[in-house]
Structure 1
């Protein structure tokens, strides 16, 4: 059984997101941010840059991302002055063994996400006391009860979710207020952006995440499951 969460750390969750982030980072210890450099990632990355531009930012390059995402990652990191972007990729030997033709997503979406996202992230987070995510409650039913502070029972690592209670309108307002660059695919109908083979444009009136794993009941890539790895048929995603 994992240790209970520090009550003082839990109490920080009531603070405005920038204040919570600054004080929680100081309290937790060695912390990294995990970012997909997706549709609204600029909000939390901007907050992190105000606290510490040298804070490690882990970017999982699945080797199946949109070229626009790779370009946006480089441009946004430079714009914000972030100095420690850690690009992590799937293990090459594992890719050759388990997905040699890059078609695993067609037959085993959970296995593909584990190979290209969850396993690389687990390796990248080794040695950290906590990590920061951009998840919000409004994004999915599986996130409706998301708390600002969580503990992973298997690793004991703390997860900080500064934007847990933010709305889509608050995200948009923050982007506008700070004139933050948008991911170029948002204007082309992609309000939620993952790997290229498993992301499609969203039609008017659809849920913003309808373009992720379209045609399946999958709603998460697995990196945010408590315990880390996705399991088949389980419906439990970096911003």
Structure 2
């Protein structure tokens, strides 16, 4: 059996290769829209004496908000001395997990496409290749479900920590009766919302691909051969 590289683009015309190409693209959108995010909310402080102050809440991937200073150094706001204050919350674990799964799937899709387009003759002539491909694909479906759910919860925590209620609860100054704090300009989180959508989309795409990979395994071929078609009837043995 020849094991050398033989370029053959025909797998891209079949579901096995075409869906893998789709997985490669959706993985890019998933981790790219999350990992490259940077935003800023503008908080307006309405002082009791008619004077207004402004603060900037800058946050970005991986969303370790507890390390981001909302007020850096002692300063005076609304005629009150305010010490260094950090934002509240840490969604780094869920965000990094989500991006990590996306990168792994991106790399695996490229490796699988290389095998499909250059070594399909080896892939189909062995039992190990399709079975390994199916096991990895099924495992990645599970990872997409877990990481997308975790990141959806982490994103909600980021939104809660950076909205008016979250900022007001963080700044002791905002708890006074003469000072009102309000987020007057929000950072666009459309990209983060899209990342969650692509996370679940990846789960469904990989689940669909798992079926096509399963059809390449000997498990499916053995099951098909053990069930004769409806047009076939067993001929009784002669007496």
What TM-score, normalized to structure 1?
Answer: 0.21
The structure where helix makes up a greater share of residues is 2
The structure where strand makes up a greater share of residues is 2
Larger RCO, structure (CA 8 Å, separation 6 or more): 2
